[in-house]
Structure 1
């Protein structure tokens, strides 16, 4: 098994050694496949990206699932840019056929593939290249009504409940440059990134 890879700079007569797993991980990330999905319910098209062996939407869902579906500050222009915000119950209704809300373990699998720590995951999730998850900081809606943190935070619902009133979500926070799973009230309004069945 290869432990180290040495790169030789013949011009400057220098050698650079890297851990083999660093090179292999970087190669795996760069090989992500991109595609698209058109939602037959409303005709909207979403970029998709393959991360590891999972296929994710690379854009926040913007489907109107009725009650529990919101645009940040109730402005349609925010939905056009950031997608809609959903309560957990609305999120379960909003997902198109052939896709689903990611479970806790599916989020963990994706995070493990792109970066072992919170900051490493943040850097990968917020890249804007074609082959990235490309987080949009769409803010959130508190269950009591106020909208908060547009441009500063992104929360993505998972299908996993932590108890009767709470479910887990992937939180990506620009101030601390971190990405992590946490629990919040099912009545809060968060974004959705679907994963393919």
Structure 2
């Protein structure tokens, strides 16, 4: 058992070094509100480091802030909120956007950027070459994540955070435990207890109820 554990540790270290030296800071990008996001180059992709927190579409129109549970439940247009309506959490975790924000042609991603697709995630995982992709993508340490035996090393500088989510009824869940991010057709997730990146929670093609959920957004650059 000790020998197997040692082999695993050396393998993890090797992967960490390979990924770390293959990824690099890629400058910054500014949204229409003037928020600045750092970016990271992972293989042939460039991702935002911080979660999106823009309040306007690219044409200047406002995205509707949905504070109350009833507002969130009833809204059929693009809207956002932030966890527990606590503005202090926005700096670290950004906003939670409903699915309509992703489909709106006015766009919430900064110009030259977009919402990731499932193909983007497959390419990301393929670059990392590990079933434990979450370790390389999650923020290093436990300053935001619940304490567990699975600690991120953030070798990719992707800095996935556990921003939780808002459900169709307007309730908030899983801050500091799980992180949920939108794709064009669903979501990808990170759990504090797991070394993996998942794509199973919210497939809007399978169940339209997820269109009423609020998830974080991390944009990818158009190449």
Shift, 1:75, TM fit: 1.2
1:132 aligns with 2:150: no
- Larger of the two Rg values belongs to structure: 1
If the length of structure 1 is used for normalisation, what is the TM-score?
A: 0.77
- The number of residues matched between the two structures is 169
Cα displacement string for residues 139-178 of structure 1 (whole angstroms, at most 9, x for unaligned residues)? 1001110000000111111113xxxxxxx21111113343
C-alpha separation in 1, matches of 2:165 and 2:31: 27
Uncovered stretches (5+) of structure 1, i.e. residues with no partner? 1-17, 161-167
1:111 aligns with 2:125: yes
Map of 1:3-152 to 2, 5 A cutoff? 26-65=17-56, 66-67=63-64, 68-92=79-103, 93-117=107-131, 120-128=132-140, 131-152=156-177
Unmatched 5+ residue regions in structure 2? 1-9, 57-62, 65-78, 141-153, 203-209
What is the TM-score with the length of structure 2 in the denominator?
0.69
Indicate if the aligned counterparts of 1:158 and 1:169 stay in contact, CA closer than 8 A.
yes
Alignment correspondent of 1:13: none
In structure 1, what is the equivalent of residue 70 of structure 2? none
Query: Within 1, Cα distance between the matches of 2:84 and 2:125?
Result: 30
Across the aligned residues of Structure 1 and Structure 2, the Cα RMSD in angstroms comes to: 2.3
- Structure 1 position 94, deviation (Å): 1.6
Q: How much has 1:180 moved relative to structure 2?
A: 1.1
Q: What is the alpha-carbon distance in structure 2 between the residues aligned to residue 24 and residue 131 of structure 1?
A: 11
2:147 maps to none
User: By how many angstroms is 1:24 displaced?
Assistant: 8.0
Judged with a 3 Å threshold, the aligned counterparts in structure 2 of structure 1 residues 23 and 177 are, in CA distance, closer, same or farther, namely: closer
| Alpha-carbon contact 1:29-1:114 (below 8 Å) kept | no
Structure in which a larger fraction of residues adopt strand? 1
Q: Which has the higher helix share?
A: 2
